Homo-oligomer: A and B are copies of this chain.
Amino acid sequence: MNIGSASRASGVSERMIRHYEKISLIPPPARRDSGYRDYSDADVNRLHFAANARDLGFSVEEIRQLLGLWGDEHRTSADVKALALAKAEELGRKAEALAAMRASLLDLASKCHGGDRPECPIIDRIARTDSKS
């Protein structure tokens, strides 16, 4: 299977397939005489696994860990669970940070009449030297 088909079958762009190969996230596939990459079904499954993990917010290095655990006879489900919970906590922290920024902006906006005069508490607040609200 050529890279284009593998890309469509796995949901990973051609660009990223080549990238994952370069950083050894996936093993180099077979090559035809022409030099074209030739992917097996197992290769495509691996790519699909990576795409799914990426969609769950895992970084490339974490995907590397997960790929190592995937199909490892000696893995324990505790290993995987710990990874998932740690990632969940990290995502939670990021989401909270964004929500806090959003709340600050909405608070500022609520104090701004929004008319065509220049007075604007948003700008005033951003310009303040004593940073905190």
By a beta-carbon cutoff of 8 Å, the part of chain A in contact with chain B is 11, 45, 48-49, 51-53, 55-57, 66, 69-70, 72-78, 80-82, 84-85, 87-88, 91-92, 94-96, 98-99, 101-102, 104-106, 108-109, 112-120, 122-123, 125-129, 131
Contacts and interface: CB of A to CB of B under 8 A. Distances in A.
Main secondary structure of the interface of A (DSSP, over half): helix
Contacts of A48: 127, 129, 131
A84 B70 contact: no
Nearest to A103: B88
Nearest to A52: B126
Contacts of A126: 49, 52-53, 56, 66, 70
A90 to B, nearest CB: 9
Given A129-B48, A131-B52, A57 B98 contact: yes
7 contacts: A52-B128, A75-B123, A76-B115, A77-B114, A84-B108, A84-B112, A92-B102
A107 B105 CA distance: 31
Contacts of A78: 114-116
Given A56-B105, A95-B98, A117 B77 contact: yes
